[in-house]
């Protein structure tokens, strides 16, 4: 089966611009997650979708970040306007069930965002 | 405060030896703990999960232990190979679906 696909793999934008990241989860995975790794730091949770509903968005840093998952398939994460501190690698992951069932998450390769 | 600590220094070992990585946590009560492998430019790859009521879990050359009293997990790779060189991430799940990651430990296995 195809894995989790993220697009673009890299993005360089200027401060104040808008960027939209896309994630295509594994087909049939109702659970979709966004995570972020800022340089030198650990990977941090942003939010969790179950189908098209936001189950937990406690990790979203501020209202410049907007995540959507219309139709419960792919998801987008928009940053508007981008700030320098938004630079990092944004990972998407999906799972069929609660990761505690033993299979963890399946991650995409990430989008490396650089804000200059 | 809540913390997950993994050795920030890289671990260098000789091929064939056992690599042991440590994950310590404070002020969490995880329902289960996971280990992931991450290669440069890639996303983390799930390796193993161990639940709070389990002491040890094995998968091929991998072994994970979980001591909820010490608040520590150890991750072992036996008969290590150069292909095992990567960053290994410890991750806790306290409840629900949200996973909290450590910063990872880099492992280098020399031939």
pLDDT digits (tens, 9 = 90+) for A46-96: 999 999 999 999 999 999 999 999 888 999 999 999 999 999 999 999 998
CB contact under 8 A, A105 and B46: yes
CB contact under 8 A, B97 and A106: no
Instruction: Tell me which residue in A42, A56, A110 faces B43 most closely, judged by beta carbons.
Output: A110
Q: Which residues pair with B35 in a beta bridge?
A: B48, B90
Distance CA A22, CA A6 (A): 6
Is residue B1 predicted with pLDDT exceeding 80? no
Is residue A1 predicted with pLDDT exceeding 70? no
B58 CB neighbours in chain A (<8 A) are none
Cβ atoms of A65 and A72 closer than 8 Å = no
Q: How much is the CA Rg of chain B, to the nearest whole Å?
A: 13
The pLDDT assigned to B99 comes to: 86
Cβ atoms of B59 and B48 closer than 8 Å = yes
Closest CA to A39 of A112, A108, A116, A92: A112
The pLDDT assigned to A39 comes to: 85
Mutate to test the interface with B, among A42, A47, A59, A92 (most CBs of B within 10 A): A42
Q: Which two tokens stand for residue A86?
A: 């938004």
In degrees, rounded to 5, the angle at the alpha carbon of residue A92 between the alpha carbons of residues B30 and B94 is 10
A107 CB neighbours in chain B (<8 A) are 43-45
The pLDDT assigned to B107 comes to: 97
CB contact under 8 A, A42 and B103: yes
The pLDDT assigned to B21 comes to: 97
A35 CB neighbours in chain B (<8 A) are 101
**Predicted confidence band of residue A100 (pLDDT cuts 50, 70, 90):** low
Residue identified by tokens 């709070």 is B52
Rounded mean pLDDT, A18-28: 96
Distance CA B84, CA B67 (A): 25
Please indicate if any CB of chain A lies within 8 Å of the CB of B32. yes
Q: Which two tokens stand for residue A30?
A: 């109702």
Query: Phi and psi for A42 in degrees, rounded to 5?
Result: -80, 165
- Summary mean pLDDT of chain B: 93
What is the DSSP code string of A30-48?
Answer: -EEEEEEE-TTS-EEEEEE
Query: Phi and psi for A84 in degrees, rounded to 5?
Result: -60, -40
Rounded mean pLDDT, B6-15: 92
Strand-pair category, A53-56 with A106-107: unpaired
Sheet of B62-67, strand order: B3-6, B19-26, B72-77, B62-67, B56-59
The pLDDT assigned to A88 comes to: 97
Which chain B residues in 42-101 lie under 8 Å from chain A, judged by CB atoms?
Answer: 42-47, 49, 51, 89, 93, 96-101
What is residue A94's three-state secondary structure?
Answer: strand
pLDDT digits (tens, 9 = 90+) for B24-82: 998 888 888 999 999 999 999 999 999 888 999 999 999 999 998 999 999 999 999 99
Between B61 and B1, the more confident residue is: B61
């Amino acid at each position: 089966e195809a894995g989790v696909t993220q697009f673009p793999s890299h993005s360089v934008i200027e401060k104040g611009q808008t960027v939209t990241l896309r994630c295509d989860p594994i087909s049939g995975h109702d659970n979709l997650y966004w995570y972020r790794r800022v340089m030198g730091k650990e990977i941090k949770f942003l939010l969790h979708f179950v189908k098209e509903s936001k189950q937990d968005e406690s990790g979203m840093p501020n209202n410049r970040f907007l995540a959507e998952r219309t139709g419960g398939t792919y998801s987008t994460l928009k940053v508007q306007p981008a700030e320098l501190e938004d630079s990092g690698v944004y990972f998407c992951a999906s799972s069929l069930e609660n990761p505690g069932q033993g299979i963890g998450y399946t991650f995409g390769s990430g989008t490396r965002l650089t804000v200059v | 405060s809540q913390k997950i600590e993994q050795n920030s220094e890289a671990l260098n070992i000789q091929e064939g030896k056992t690599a042991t990585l440590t994950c310590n946590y404070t002020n969490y009560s995880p329902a289960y703990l996971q280990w992931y492998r991450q290669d440069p430019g890639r996303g983390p790859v799930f390796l193993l999960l161990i639940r709070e009521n389990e002491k040890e879990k094995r998968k091929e050359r991998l072994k994970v232990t979980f001591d909820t009293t010490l608040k520590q997990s150890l991750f072992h790779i036996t008969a290590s190979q150069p292909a095992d060189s990567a960053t290994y991430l410890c991750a806790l799940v306290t409840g629900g679906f949200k996973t909290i990651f450590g910063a990872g430990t880099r492992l280098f296995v020399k031939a």
